[in-house]
Structure 1
Amino acid sequence: MIELDGLTKHYGDTVAVDDLTFTVRPGIVTGFLGPNGAGKSTTMRMMLDLDNPTSGTVRIDGRHYRQLQDPLTYIGALLEAKAVHGGRSAANHLLCLAQSNGIPRSRVAEVLDTVGLSSVAKKRVKGFSLGMNQRLGIAAALLGDPQVLLFDEPVNGLDPEGIHWIRNLMKNLAAQGRTVFVSSHLMSEMALTADHLVVIGQGRLMADTSMKDFIHQNSRSYVRMRSPERERLLGVLRDAGIHAVAVGDGSLEIDGVPAERLGELATAHNLVLHELSPQQASLEEAFMRLTAGSVEYHAHDGEPHAAPGRPPWPSQPQQPPQPAQSPGPAVAGPDTPRAAGWGADWREKRS
């Protein structure tokens, strides 16, 4: 369990994290969301004592990180995948971490196998791709078989198979009763992975709720109906005291009435329906709606702005000027992880 109580961080006059209080509970995947600059990375760094809070506290299973003996056996984290000495092999990098935290050498091979890097265990990390670095960072987080895990953008650089693997890994870790806290900007993936959401904006807590409730509270839910007898359907709904809005594609949208009730009403009046579908916003739409006022960096749709002192961007690509041609004959030219597996439980071996 991770507990934050009034956690605050100032950088001069800038408030990066502002009085955050929430609890990350075991047994579920908790997603950590917020716009760029919201304070997510700073919050996660303070959880690991990489940054000191200006005020407030954060505890891992009741203790500060600095009070943990052999901390990798309590909490594992992936914050910056490329923060690895490039001259070391993958196996030696993990071995250094293992030896500094009282973890047996055998655990290195186990986690490399778990993340699918056994075949490159002896290769130097400087030759790794971004996806391979991500897998190595995840291996480091799993090394101590911890009960608490932090992942910051864990799917960066992973291919579709890798994304599917890390999603199932996080779900499996939570199902084992571990605390799993994951930050990501990839909303479609977060919607498939997280059970609970913590959302911050400009350093302040904006939501701490289940995935289902977050989408329900921050989006419009309605039922769409479509019938070849639209006018008669409108009349039936009107007589039942139900307000329907006609939209451009010929369908009707109804708020606040369950689809089951609408279907029963249509059946009772022998109405043919071509569509009866509950509609709900995606996590991305709900997130955008909640955080619209706390976005720090706003981009603009449309054509890019020209830099000062330069001419405006052309609306159409322009051809470079052609050199003048002297008269003469025409010249002919060419046609223009493996699935997640923990291996042996080494904790039993060392007991």
Structure 2
Amino acid sequence: MIELRDLTKRYGDKLAVDGLSFTVRPGTVTGFLGPNGAGKSTTMRMVLGLDEPTRGDVRIEGKRYAELREPLHSIGALLEAKGVHGGRRAHDHLLCLAQSNGIPERRVGEALEMVGLQDVARKRPKGFSLGMGQRLGIAAALLGDPRILMFDEPVNGLDPEGIHWIRTLMQQLAREGRTVFVSSHLMSEMAQTAEHLVVIGQGKLLADTSMSQFIAENSRTHVRVRTPEPERMRDLLTEAGLRPVPGAEGALEVDDGDAPRIGELAAAHGVVLHELSTQRASLEEAFMRLTAQSVEYHAAAPGGTHAPPVPQEGTAPHPGGPQSPPGAAQPPPAWGEDWQDRKGRRG
């Protein structure tokens, strides 16, 4: 178990982590989410004692990291896959870690086999691909058979087989009763891996809840109904106390009803349905909605304008996009547009 209490880190005028308090519990994969600059990596570094908190405390099984005599038996972590000596063979890199923590040498071979690197055990990491470097970092985290695993962006550089492997591994470790704490920017992958979420923005805690509850609380779920008799169906829904609204492709959308009830209503009145489906938001949509006001770095959209904010519930962007009043200054050309014009003139 990892416990954070009022954990705060300031770098000069920059408040990177602001009073974080939460607990990462065993038996489940806990996802750690937040926009770039939210303070995720800084928080993980403080868990491992690599950064000293300005205020607050973080405990690993009741102790600070510095108090753990052989820390790799308690917590294994992957924060930076390239944090290895490029000229030291993969086997020897793990052997150094093992000897410093009282881990038998046989465990080195076991860890390399677990991550699929047994055939390159005598090769130097400076020639490894990004994915192979990730696997070596994961092997180091598993080396001491720890009760707690912490991974920062573990799927970076992995191919589809590798992503499936690390997802399955983390879920298996959690089923064994271990604590698994993982950060990632890949929302689709996190949705398949984590059961619990901790979300931060600008160093502050935004959510500490289950995956299903997080999506339910930060997104819209509705029933989509498509029928060749939309007006009649709308009247039936309204008479039943529901509030249908027009949707895409002539469908009706119902926020305050469930699919079985609506299906039974249609069947009772002989209304043919072409579609009856419950529409749930993805983790990405829920995350974007919650953190819209916490994004520190906004990219520019094509044309030099800033990317539009996520629309609030119940609103929709103008179908033709933002309109400029007559005489208003025009936005700068899209990236590369002037170069393409010059190239065309030269041709």
Could you state the TM-score of these two structures normalised by the residue count of structure 2? 0.89
Runs of 4+ in structure 1 over 4 Å off: 320-323
**CA displacement at 1:256 relative to structure 2:** 1.5
Aligned equivalent of 1:69 = 69
- Paired residue type of 1:174: A
Change in Cα spacing, 1:219 to 1:316, as seen in structure 2 (3 Å) is farther
Q: Does 1:38 align with 2:38?
A: yes
SS of the residue aligned with 2:119?
A: helix
- Paired residue type of 1:317: Q
**CA displacement at 1:322 relative to structure 2:** 4.9
Partners of 2:83 and 2:48 in 1: CA distance: 15
- Paired residue type of 1:169: L
**CA displacement at 1:230 relative to structure 2:** 1.2
**CA displacement at 1:321 relative to structure 2:** 5.1
Aligned equivalent of 2:271 = 271
Residues 253-272 of structure 1 mapped to structure 2, 5 A cutoff: 253-272=253-272
Change in Cα spacing, 1:51 to 1:237, as seen in structure 2 (3 Å) is same
SS of the residue aligned with 1:171?
A: helix
SS of the residue aligned with 1:165?
A: helix
Query: Which ranges in structure 2 are unaligned for 5 or more consecutive residues?
Result: 306-331
SS of the residue aligned with 2:250?
A: coil
**CA displacement at 1:260 relative to structure 2:** 1.2
SS of the residue aligned with 1:249?
A: helix
Q: Does 1:317 align with 2:340?
A: yes
Partners of 2:216 and 2:160 in 1: CA distance: 29
**CA displacement at 1:14 relative to structure 2:** 1.1
Change in Cα spacing, 1:65 to 1:266, as seen in structure 2 (3 Å) is same
SS of the residue aligned with 1:170?
A: helix
State the identity as a percent. 68
SS of the residue aligned with 1:32?
A: strand
Aligned equivalent of 2:329 = none
Partners of 1:122 and 1:24 in 2: CA distance: 36
- Paired residue type of 2:167: R
Q: Deviations over 1:278-302 (max 9, x none)?
A: 0111000000000000000001222
**CA displacement at 1:43 relative to structure 2:** 0.2
Partners of 1:238 and 1:57 in 2: CA distance: 55
Q: Does 1:170 align with 2:170?
A: yes
Contact 2:8-2:55 within 8 A present in 1 as well: yes
SS of the residue aligned with 1:293?
A: coil
Residues 1-351 of structure 1 mapped to structure 2, 5 A cutoff: 1-304=1-304, 312=333, 313-314=336-337, 317-318=340-341, 319=343, 322=346
CA RMSD of superposed structures (Å): 1.4
SS of the residue aligned with 1:182?
A: strand
Change in Cα spacing, 1:320 to 1:234, as seen in structure 2 (3 Å) is closer
Structure 1 range deviating more: 43-52 or 244-253: 244-253
**CA displacement at 1:240 relative to structure 2:** 1.2
Aligned equivalent of 2:308 = none
Contact 2:81-2:133 within 8 A present in 1 as well: yes
- Paired residue type of 1:25: R
**CA displacement at 1:315 relative to structure 2:** 6.5
Partners of 1:232 and 1:174 in 2: CA distance: 51
When the two structures are aligned, how many residues end up with a matched partner? 318
- Paired residue type of 2:150: L
The structure number with the bigger radius of gyration is 1
**CA displacement at 1:15 relative to structure 2:** 0.6
Contact 2:223-2:257 within 8 A present in 1 as well: yes
